[in-house]
Amino acid sequence: MASSKNERKRSRGNGPAQGTRPDPRREAAAVPRPGLVDAVRDVVAPAVEGTGLWLEEVTMTRAGARSVVRVTVDLPETEVGSLGSDALGEVSRAISTALDADDVVPGVYVLEVSTPGTSRPLTQPRHFRRARTRLVTLVLVDGGEVSGRLEDLVDEDGRAVVVLEDGVRVPLADVRRGRVEVELRRLEEADFGPEVGAAGDGEQTDADGEETDADGEQTDAEDVDDDDAGAPRTREG
C-alpha cells in the first residue's frame, strides 16, 4: 500500500518572509556543533517511543539562517505495512512538544518528521522484517541478484535467512543489500481518506493535504522560531 506525504509548516513570531528566494550558497549543509545531534536524539527518543514507534534516525543540517532537524520514524519490526498519516501526525506533535520543552535546538529551526519510504536500502535485519509482504530485490555479495516477495526473516541454525514467497531462501550473510520495489498496484489500491483538520495549542489551524508519494515516504514539516514562543501559531497544509 502506498503512503501519503503530509506537509505542515508552523511559524512563530517574525520568521523569514515567505516566498523569498534562498541564496544557494547558504543552502549547503553544515555540520552542527559536536554533540548536538546526540542531544536532540536523547530528547526525541522518549517522545517517539511513547507513541509506540521506532526512532530510525536523527540528522541536522543548515539551510540559510535555519537549522533543519530531520527525524525518521518507523513502525516496530514486528509490524507489517506502512505507518499511517494519523500516527505520523501524533508522533510529530510529540516530538515538537519535546523539543519545545527542552529547548535543545538554538534559534530558528525546521522540524521534518518522516518515514523511511521504499528508497531506504535494506541493510539491517529489522529492515528486512519491516519489508515483509513487499516485492524486493536482493543484491548478493557475489554480484548476483534475487527478486521476489519477502515472506520472512527467520533463524536457521543460528544464522538469519531471508525467505521469499516462492520458497527461495537466501542467507542474510550472502546479501550485500536489498531494496523494495515500487509496485503500481499498491499505489492504485491506496486509500488515503479525507482531508482533515486538527486542533492544537494556542490559536492554531490545521489542514492536512495528502498526496501519493511513489517511494512510500511520508513527511511532516514544521517551521519553528523559539525566539517568540508565546505568539500565535499558524499551520498551513
Q: Is residue 9 part of a domain?
A: yes
Asked if 89 and 32 sit in the same domain, the reply is yes
Alpha-carbon distance of 136 to 146, in angstroms, equals 8
Distance, in Å, from the CA atom of 144 to the CA atom of 199, rounded to the nearest integer, reads 52
Condensed to tens digits (0 to 9), the pLDDT of residues 117-161 reads 888 999 999 999 999 999 999 999 999 999 999 999 999 999 999
Average pLDDT of span 9-23: 42
- Which three-class secondary structure state does DSSP give residue 123? coil
Across 20-47, average pLDDT: 74
**Shared domain check, 97 and 11:** yes
Cα–Cα nearest to 196, from 237, 162, 161: 237
Q: How many domains does the chain have?
A: 2
Q: Could you give the CA distance from residue 95 to residue 46 in angstroms, rounded to a whole number? A: 9
pLDDT at 115: 95
Looking at the fold, whether 145 and 91 belong to one and the same domain comes out as no
Residues 171, 173: Cα–Cα separation, whole Å? 5
- The CATH number of the domain holding residue 83 is 3.30.300.70
On whether residue 185 sits in a domain, the answer given is no
Residues 109 and 132 both lie in one domain: no
Same structural domain for residues 63 and 101? yes
Angle between helix 85-102 and 36-50 (nearest 10): 130
Q: Tell me the per-residue pLDDT of 97-111, one tens digit each, with 9 for 90 and over.
A: 999 999 999 999 999
92 and 196 in a single domain? The answer is yes
Same domain flag for 28 and 96: yes
Task: Look at residue 39 and tell me if it is in a domain.
Answer: yes
| SS3 assignment for 69-85 | EEEEEECCCCCCCCCCH
Domain termination residue (choose one: 135, 162, 180): 180
Is residue 43, in this structure, part of any structural domain at all?
Answer: yes
For residue 147, what is its C-alpha cell?
527478486
CATH number at residue 144: 2.30.30.100
Phi, psi of 95 (to 5 degrees): -65, -45
Where residue 21 falls among pLDDT bands split at 50, 70, 90?
low
Q: Which of 159, 180, 201 is the last residue of a domain?
A: 180
Domain range for 225 = 4-118+190-236
| Statement to judge: residues 75 and 101 lie in one domain | yes
pLDDT at residue 18 tops 50: no
